[in-house]
Amino acid sequence: MDLDWLRDFLELAEHRNFSRAADARHVSQPAFSRRIRALEDWVGTPLFARGPSGVTVTPAGRHLRPLVEGVLRDLDRARRETRDFGEREMATLSIAATHALSFTFFPGWIRRHVRFDDLGTLNLLSDSMEACEQAMLGGEVHFLLCHHHADAPTRLEPDRVESARVGDDLLVPLSAPGGDGRPAWPLPGAAGRPSRLLAYSPASGLGRIVAGCPLTRDAAAHMETGFTSHLAATLLTMAREGHGVAWLPRTLAQDDIAQGRLVRAGAEAFDIAIEIRLFRSPDCRNRAADALWCGLADA
């Protein structure tokens, strides 16, 4: 019996549609269907009724659903508690940080707040905002370090996940300069020649922030999207090479701005003031994580 079969079962019970449930589980529909059939064979009775009008859960499936939810919940709790028990002696600290902050803000910030002589291991997960949120919600890391704006949604519920402001940043629309030193791709764009947008993908937290601010959202709507990535560093390189305009964190782009490789593409009204915020996991705790959080409160 594979635990993935149980997760597939819950997804199909929720969606009542094989295609949507398979998409949610990131597998092909034929593979998903085989796994559901394998679970039914293992249980020994049908869990779903297939018909022209869709999928319905059988009485046996309705009986099984809360049992499966309880099993998976207990296994997740056992995994977290066992891992936390082992980490208490090693004082391991795990932090997820978005790519841009991982190599700009994080190194200096962590040196100021952690005594490495007292720490067993520091683990840094550098990924997109979407992946970092998933790691946090899955209890895999103690903290999440990311850019934050009140108008941008996150999956971290404020009544459940504590957070602290640890820095400030600014998203600035930047372009390579033209021959006259002015932006090659100005905002809001010349008549008949809209500026080209170097956009963030949906997995990016910075993309959510740009999309969540009315002025930048309206400006982007009138631009041609020429390139998309969840990496701010990649968008910076594309902007530097003259491929369009990107809203970039000032902490990331400050050297290029100082050297004249990037210039402001629009007025300061297009800037977005953002916070650098540390979110604390409600589930993943140990002595090292408590010490870091208490240190922030005392600072």
pLDDT at 90: 60
> Which of 85, 109, 143 represents a domain boundary (last residue)?
85
Residue length, the chain? 299
203 with 264, same domain: the answer is yes
Token pair in block for residue 183 = 């932006």
d(CA 146, CA 278): 7
> Is the pTM above the cut of 0.85?
no
> Which of 85, 102, 129 represents a domain boundary (last residue)?
85
Contact 178, 242 (CB under 8 A): no
Long-range contacts of residues 163-167, Cβ cutoff 8 Å, at least 24 apart = 163/277, 163/278, 163/279, 163/280, 164/277, 164/278, 164/280, 164/293, 164/296, 164/297, 165/275, 165/276, 165/277, 166/109, 166/276, 166/277, 166/278, 166/296, 167/105, 167/109, 167/275, 167/276
177 with 262, same domain: the answer is yes
100 with 186, same domain: the answer is no
Q: What is the CATH number of the domain that holds 287?
A: 3.40.190.10
> Which of 63, 85, 107 represents a domain boundary (last residue)?
85
**Contact residues for 248 (Cβ-Cβ < 8 A; gap 6+):** 171, 172, 174, 232, 235, 236, 239, 262
Rounded to the nearest angstrom, the gap between the alpha carbon of residue 102 and the centroid of all alpha carbons in its chain is: 13
Walk along the chain (299 residues) and give the pLDDT tens digit of each residue. Answer: 788 999 999 999 998 889 889 998 888 999 999 999 999 999 999 999 988 878 999 999 999 999 999 999 999 888 888 876 665 556 688 999 999 999 899 999 998 888 766 667 889 999 999 999 999 998 899 999 999 999 888 889 888 899 999 999 999 999 999 989 999 999 877 666 788 999 999 889 999 999 888 888 888 777 888 899 999 999 999 999 999 999 999 999 999 999 999 999 999 999 999 999 999 998 888 888 888 998 887 66
185 with 43, same domain: the answer is no
Q: Which domain holds residue 26?
A: 3-85
Burial of 2 (0-12, 13-18, 19+ CB in 10 A): exposed
198 with 259, same domain: the answer is yes
3-state helix, strand, coil in the chain (%, to 5): 45, 25, 30
Q: What is the CATH number of the domain that holds 57?
A: 1.10.10.10
pLDDT at 87: 59
238 with 103, same domain: the answer is no
pLDDT at 169: 97
The helix or strand, by DSSP H or E, that contains position 68, with its residue range, turns out to be helix 59-90
51 with 191, same domain: the answer is no
d(CA 42, CA 31): 17
102 with 65, same domain: the answer is no
Structural domain tally of the chain?
A: 3
